Amino acid sequence: MYSFDFVKPSSVAEAVAALAEDEAQPLGGGQTLIPTLKQRLAMPSKLVSLAGIDEMRGICRDDDGRICIGASTTHAEIAEGAGDYPALARLAANIGDPAVRNRGTVGGSLANNDPSACYPAAALGSGATIITDRREIAADDYFQGMFATALEEGEIITEARFPVPEKADYQKFEQPASRFALVGVFVAKYADGVRVAVTGASEEGVFRWTEAEAALSSDFTAEAVAGLSVPADGMIGDLHGSPEYRAHLVSVMTKRAVAAAG
Amino acid sequence: MPKDHGIGAPMKRREDVRFLTGAGNYTDDINLSRQLYVHFLRSDVAHGRINGIDTEEASKMPGVVRIFTGKDFEGVGGLPCGWQVTDRHGEPMQEPAHPVLAQGKVRHVGDPIAAVVAETREQARDAAEAIAVDIEELPAVVDMKAALQDGAPRVHDDLTSNLCYDWGFVEDNKAAVDEAIRNAHHVTTLELVNQRLAPNAMEPRVAVGDYQRANDESTLYTTSQNPHVIRLLMGAFVLGIPEHKLRVVAPDVGGGFGSKIFHYAEEAFVTFAARQLNRPVKWTASRSEAFLSDAQGRDHVTKIELALDADNNFTAIRTETYANMGAYLSTFAPSVPTWLHGTLMAGNYKTPNIYVNVKAVFTNTVPVDAYRGAGRPEATFQLERVIDKAARELGVDPMALRRQNFVTEFPYATPVAVEYDTGDYPALVDKLEEIADFGGFEARRKESEARGKLRGLGVNCYIEACGIAPSNLVGQLGARAGLYDAATVRVNATGSISVMVGAHSHGQGHETAFPQVVADMLGIDESMVDIVHGDTSKIPFGMGTYGSRSLAVCGSAMVRATEKIIAKAKKIAAHLMEASDADIELKDGKFTVAGTDKSVAWGDVTLAAYVPHNYPLTEIEPGLEETSFYDPSNFTYPAGAYACEVEVDPDTGKVTIERFSAADDFGNVINPMIVDGQVHGGIGQGIGQALLESCAYDENGQLVSASYMDYAMPRADDVPFYSVDHSVQTPCTHNPLGVKGCGEAGAIGSPPTIVNAVIDALHSGGHKVDHIDMPLTPSRVWTAMQG
C-alpha cells in the first residue's frame, strides 16, 4: 500500500474534523478498504479510524422500539447482541468468516454499499434509518446504486435504526468463491405491510421487489409469490451466474425467506 | 492392532510438529545480510509490442539500485523446455524462445517486462509504477480453435502458426481405429472441456538469489519440488553457471501440486541479479502474481468416441484434443497432453484399438504445465464420462459395463504403448461396493426426494502411470532429462542415520515415511533416522518429487543403498565375531551368527566402522555410507474405483456431495495414515475441479478469476467425510518395495465420479442432460436443467 497518515479520534466531531482534509478517508472495519489499499487501488492521504469512538458502538432499543446499532459495531457483536431482531442477528452471523465478523462493521458495510453485501438488504428491507453526523436518511433514499449512497463527502454514518418487524428472514445464496450474496433476499412483515429487499442481483445494487411486497402484504405465504418473477433485464451477469439465473434465484430466495419467516 | 512402527505403521507425521507450531523454515523465512528486493513490472495486456521502456524517472527514485529490462538479458539464455514432442509427421514441435524478461513483445497478462531492484519491497514497487512502458496493444488469441484459424494473431511472430504440434498416437493404429469405429454396433460420442485450473499452493512462490564473490558461487533459495532440476536447467541453459558453482536450496515448501516443478523466470532473475549487484536479491510472489505467473493446469477441449460391439465390448476409442500451452512452453508442458495423457487412454479396459490426436496450441494466456495428475486426469475424465454416457444410451448398469471390459490378465500391453504390470480391478469394485453401500442407495435417494432434492450415484474407475519414469523410454519419447532418482544413506558412528534423498517433500510426509523403510530394514527405531532433502550441496543428483514418484523411484534408491549398508555392516559384524559373512543375520538391530548365541549390536558395528581399531581394513574401507541411483524399468500403475453420491437442489442447481468412497490399489503401503491424507487431499482438489474452480479468461486475455473473490477454492464445508480404503494391494512387480504411488490418485479419480453422479441425479429428476462442463456451478447445473 501507499503510505498515509493515520488518526484514531475518540469522538464523532473529531472524526468529522479529521475528514475535512483532502483525500482523507474513513476506516471502519477495513474489510474492503484494507485489501483495496494493499492492491494499491486507493491512495488516501489520511485514514480516519472510526473504531475508537465509543458513541458509535453498541446496540440498544429506542422509544419507538427500533433497534439502534452504532455504526462501528461489528458483525460479531450484532450476531450476539441483536437478539431482539433475530433475522438481523442471523444475517450478521452469516457474513464472511469469524475474522471478517470480528473486524467488519455495519456502518462500513452500509457506507460501502457493495452490490453483493448483506446489510443493505436488511436496511432497505426493514425501512431502516441511517443516522449520520449531520442528518437522518431513510433507507429508501440512502441506497443509490452500486457503491453509491446519499452520503456526502466527509459524512459519517454514526448509527442505523431498524424497526423490528413481526416476522422476517434473510436468505442468502452464496457466490461460490467470495461467498458474498449471489442473490440475497430480506423479507420483513410489518403491521403496515411487507418489505422485500434484494441484494447481489441487480446492476443497480440493492432494490425493493415491490410486486412481491404487494402480494405478500395481502397473503404472507410462499405461494403468494410463486407466480412472480423479476425480469432478467438489468440483473448482473458474470462468471457465477447469468442474469436469468439471478432473476430466478430472486424468486427462489424470496419464497424461502417467506417460508422461513413463518 | 495396527503396527506401531516400521513398514505399514500409521505413524503420525513428525514434520507436522514444526509446521503446526510455526517452526517451519520456508523460503520467505530466509533473509540474508544486505538483501535487496525485486518487484516485477508485469504486462497488463495479453498481447502487445513493446515500443519503448523509459526507466529514467524510476531509476532516480528512493532506494532503487537498478532496473533491468529484456535488454539486460540479451546474450543470456532463455527458459528451456525439458521435453520435445515429435508430431504426426515426424517433425519436432514448434519451440519458441522464452526470455527471462520480455523482449520485443508481451504475450500474456503477467509477462514480466522489467524488474526493479531496490532496498525495500515498497520502494521497488513504487519505482515500478514510475516506469513508462510504451506498448502497442495487439489482438489477443485466447480460444484454441480460433488460434488455429488462418489469419489468427500470431503469439510468436517467428513461428509459422500457433500450432505447437499435431500429435497422433499411435499413428500406425489410426486406420484400424477408424475402421473399427465405422463397423461398430454402437458409437457414443462426447465433447467436453477439461477446464483450466490455477494450482494455488498455500505458499506462493519465493526466490532469493545470493552470490559469494570470494569463490564465485551462486546460491538460489527457491520454492521448488526439484532443486537439482532447477540447478541443471538454470545453470546449463539460462545463466551458464557450472554445477559446482551453483547451489539450489528448496527448504520447507508449502505445497506444489506440480506448479513448483518448473524453472521460472523469477528464479533465473534473482540469481542473475545477485551476481550483477553482488548482493542478495529476494522476490516473494503475491497471490495476485501467482494467478498471473504460476504455470496453470489442464485446459483441454476434447471430442471422444467410444465404439462398442453388439455385446457391449469396447472395440475402439478415438479422441481429438486441443491442449492449451499458453504463451510459452513451460518446462514439461509438451509432455502433459501427450505422454502423460495419450498413454493412459486405455484406462482399466481391454479396448483393442485406440487412437489419440492432440493439437497443442499457443494462446495469449499464462503457460500451462503439469498440475496434480498431469494428463492422467484429462484422460480419465474423457474415458469415464464417455463410458457413463454409453451405459445410459445402452440402458446398462454403468459399473457392469466397466466390469465387463476390465483388463483381467497381467502383464497387459495396451494399444497405447504401456504395459500394466499388475492389478485387480474387479477386486477394487467389490471393495467399493462394500464401502460405498450401493445397496442402501435407493433408500437414500428416496429420502432425498422426500426433501425435494435429486440424488445421484456416480462411479468411476481409473488407472494412472506413476513412478515417473524409465529414462531410456522417456528419452525415446522426447524427454531431455533422465528420470531416475538417488539416495545416500549415511550411517554415523553411533548408529544414527542421515538419508540424503533426491525426492523433495512439500506435503508428502517423506520425513516420516522414508525412515519407516530404513528403520524396518535395519530393525532400529525410526527416531534414529532423519531425511535430508532440498539442498543440492547436500543431496545426490536426484530429480525431485512429482508424478507420484518419490517412494517408487527415490524410495527404491534408498532401499538399494540400505541393502549395500547391510551387506557391508555384515562384513564388519562377521569380523567382530570372527565368523563368516554368510552366517551373519540382522534382526531387531542386532547382528547374530546363525546357529550360535553370538551377537553384536547395530551401534557396535557402526562404531567399528568409524573407529576401525578392530576392523578388516585390508578387505573393506572404513566408514558406512552408500549411495544408489535407481532408474525404474517401468511405470507403476495404481488403480482405483470411486463412488460419489450427490444431492442437487432443483430450485437452485446447487450440488452437495453427500458421500464419497474411494477404493485404491497402491500396491504395498508404507504409512497408511499418510496415504489416507494424500487421497483426501487429492479428492478435495478433484471436488474443486468438478464443482468450483476455473481460470476464466475474457476475449482480451484478461484472467477474470484472478483472485479468491472469483476463483473458488474448495473449503471444509464443500467436502464430505471420505470413506477410503487401500486394502486391495497388488504390489508393483518391478520395484523393491512393491509400491505404486498415491499422490495424484484422488485428483484423477474424483472429477468424473462427481460429474457422473450429478448427471445421474438430473436424470432421476427427468432432466435428460448428457453432459455439463466443469465446474458444475449452481448456475451451470440450473441452466442445463432448463433444457
Q: What is the mean pLDDT, run by run of 10 residues, along chain A of 262 residues?
A: 95 96 93 95 96 96 96 98 96 97 98 97 98 98 97 96 98 97 98 97 97 98 96 97 98 98 90
Closest CA to B346 of B173, B480, B93, B569: B173
Three-state DSSP state, B211: strand
B1 has pLDDT over 70: no
CB pairs under 8 A between A and B: 46
Please give, rounded to a whole number of angstroms, the shortest distance from the CA of B89 to a CA of chain A. Answer: 40
CA B594 to chain centre: 47
Q: Are strands B529-532 and A207-208 parallel, antiparallel or unpaired?
A: unpaired
> In whole angstroms, what is the distance from residue A27 CA to residue B591 CA?
72
pLDDT, one tens digit per residue, over B67-122 is 999 999 998 999 999 999 999 999 999 999 999 999 999 999 999 999 999 999 99
Q: Across the interface, do B710 and A177 touch by the CB < 8 Å criterion?
A: yes
Give every strand in the sheet of B217-222, ordered side by side.
B64-69, B112-118, B36-42, B281-284, B206-212, B217-222, B246-249
> Lowest-pLDDT range, B388-402, B434-448, B462-476, B647-661?
B462-476
Contacts of A84 (CB under 8 A, 6+ apart): A61, A67, A164
Grouping H, G, I as helix, E, B as strand and the rest as coil, residue A14 is helix
Contacts of A241 in chain B (CB under 8 A): 777-779
**Residues forming beta bridges with residue B194, ordered by sequence position:** B300
For chain B, the average pLDDT equals 97
CA torsion B110→B112→B115→B116, rounded to 10°? -30
Q: Which residue on chain A is closest to B783 by alpha carbon? A: A245
The residue in chain B having the minimum alpha-carbon distance to the alpha carbon of residue A38 is B286
How confident is the model over B607-633, as pLDDT tens digits?
A: 999 999 999 999 999 999 999 999 999
Please give the share of chain B, as a percent, with pLDDT higher than 70: 100
pLDDT at B666: 98
Q: How far is A33 from chain B (nearest CA, A)?
A: 15
Which chain A residues touch B if contact means CB-CB below 8 Å? 39-40, 173, 176-178, 182, 239-242, 244-245, 248-249, 252
CB-nearest to B777 from A39, A240, A252 is: A240
Helices B745-764 and B376-394, axial angle in degrees (round to 10): 30
Closest to B708 (Cβ–Cβ): which among A177, A240, A252?
A: A177
Q: Least CB-CB distance to A252: which of B129, B651, B709?
A: B651
Q: Do B712 and A177 touch (CB under 8 A)?
A: yes
CB-CB: which of B704, B709, B777 is closest to A178? B709
Query: Given this model, what pLDDT does residue A232 score?
Result: 97
Summary count for chain B: helices (H), strands (E)? 19, 28
Residues 6+ apart with CB under 8 A from B533: B500, B501, B502, B503, B504, B505, B510, B539
Q: Indicate the residue of B288, B711, B782 with minimum beta-carbon distance to A177.
A: B711
CB contact under 8 A, B782 and A173: no
Contact residues, chain B, for A39 at CB < 8 Å: 288
**A contacts of B39 (beta carbons < 8 Å):** none
Rounded Cα gap, residues A139 and A160, in angstroms = 9
Nearest-CA distance A241 → chain B (Å)? 5
Bond before B411 cis per omega within 30 degrees: yes
Residue B2 has pLDDT above 80, yes or no: no
Q: Is B44 exposed, middle or buried (0-12, 13-18, 19+ CB in 10 A)?
A: middle
- The answer to whether A176 and B712 are in contact (CB under 8 A) is yes
Residues 109-148 of B with CB under 8 A from A: 125, 129
Q: How far apart are CA B170 and CA B27, in angstroms?
A: 44
Quote the pLDDT of residue B101.
98
* Whole-number pLDDT of residue B69: 98
- A-chain residue closest to B706, CA distance: A177
Determine the average pLDDT of the residues in B354-365.
98
Contacts of A244 in chain B (CB under 8 A): 783
CB contact under 8 A, A248 and B782: yes
Answer yes or no: do A245 and B783 touch at CB < 8 A.
yes
Render pLDDT for B145-176 as a digit per residue (tens, 0 to 9): 999 999 999 999 999 999 999 999 999 999 99
A176 vs B777: CB contact, 8 Å cut-off? yes
Closest approach of B607 to chain A, Cα-based (Å): 56
This prediction has a pTM of: 0.97
pLDDT at B163: 98
pLDDT exceeds 90 at position B787: no
Residues of B in contact with A250 (CB under 8 A): none
Cell numbers at residue B66, please? Answer: 537498478
Compute the distance between CA of residue A59 and CA of residue A85 in angstroms, rounded to an integer: 11
Cβ-based contacts of B653 with chain A (< 8 Å)? 245
Question: Is B783 in Cβ contact with A177 (below 8 Å)?
Answer: no
| Chain B residue numbers touching A182 (CB-CB < 8 A) | 778
What average pLDDT score do residues B630-649 get? 98
Q: Say which residue the cell 554445477 belongs to.
A: B243
Q: Looking at CA atoms only, how far is residue A258 from chain B in angstroms?
A: 15
Q: How much is the average pLDDT of B291-305?
A: 98
Answer yes or no: is pLDDT of B3 > 90. no
Say what the pLDDT of residue B351 is.
98
Report CB contact under 8 Å: B779, A242: yes
H or E segment and range at residue B511:
helix B510-522
Give the containing element (helix H, strand E) for A170.
Answer: strand A167-174
Please tell me the distance in Å from B718's CA to the nearest CA on chain A: 10
| Interface contact B709-A248, CB threshold 8 A | no
Residue B463 CB neighbour total at 10 angstroms: 28
pLDDT tens for each residue of B737-763: 999 999 999 999 999 999 999 999 999
Between CA B636 and CA B483 the distance in angstroms is 14
Is B651 within 8 Å of A241 when comparing Cβ atoms? no
Q: What would the grid cell of residue B563 be?
A: 541393502
Decide if B20 touches A, using CB distance below 8 A.
no
Rounded to 5 degrees, what are φ and ψ at B86?
A: -100, 135
**A-chain residues near B288 (CB < 8 A):** 39
Q: Using a CB-CB distance cutoff of 8 angstroms, which residues of chain B are in contact with residue A245?
A: 653, 778-779, 782-783
Quick check: B697 contacting A, CB < 8 Å?
no
Check CB contact under 8 Å for B779 and A248.
no
In this predicted structure, the answer to whether residue B567 has a pLDDT above a threshold of 70 is: yes
